[in-house]
């Protein structure tokens, strides 16, 4: 029963294993998501400030820049391992 939950069969009758979820994969996905979100926030804030002359919260820019920098450093450390 347990074996059937972990595997499935394709039409050619070959067994295909599902992708295993590991802590490293979860961490990598979380870091990539943080990088994407913080870079979007940074670019949106800078474009709205320089192009549309809107007021931008300085604390929002600082937090986004810190999150972006830490995420990039974390990604670099994960690459070196």
Say if 3 falls within a structural domain.
no
To 10 degrees, what angle do helices 58-80 and 23-50 make?
150
Domain that holds residue 65: 21-80
Say if 43 falls within a structural domain.
yes
Say if 33 falls within a structural domain.
yes
Say if 14 falls within a structural domain.
no
Q: What is the pLDDT of residues 4-47, one digit of tens each?
A: 444 555 556 565 566 677 777 788 788 888 888 888 888 888 88
Q: What is the pLDDT of residues 50-62, one digit of tens each?
A: 888 888 788 878 8
Say if 15 falls within a structural domain.
no
Say if 70 falls within a structural domain.
yes
Q: SS3 sequence, 15-80?
A: EEECCCCCHHHHHHHHHHHHHHHHHHHHHHHHHHHHCCCCCCCHHHHHHHHHHHHHHHHHHHHHHH
Whether pTM exceeds 0.85:
no
Q: Structurally, how many domains does the chain consist of?
A: 1
pLDDT class for 1, splitting at 50, 70, 90? Answer: very low
Say if 62 falls within a structural domain.
yes
The residue whose two tokens read 């990598």 is 28
Say if 59 falls within a structural domain.
yes
- Length of the chain counted residue by residue: 81
């Amino acid at each position: 029963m347990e074996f059937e939950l972990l595997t499935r069969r394709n039409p050619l009758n070959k067994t295909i294993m599902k992708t295993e979820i590991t802590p490293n994969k979860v961490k990598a996905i979380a870091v990539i998501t943080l990088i994407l979100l913080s870079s979007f926030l940074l670019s949106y804030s800078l474009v709205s400030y320089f192009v549309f002359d809107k007021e931008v919260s300085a604390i929002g820019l600082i937090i986004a820049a810190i999150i972006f920098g830490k995420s990039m450093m974390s990604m670099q450390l994960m690459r070196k391992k």
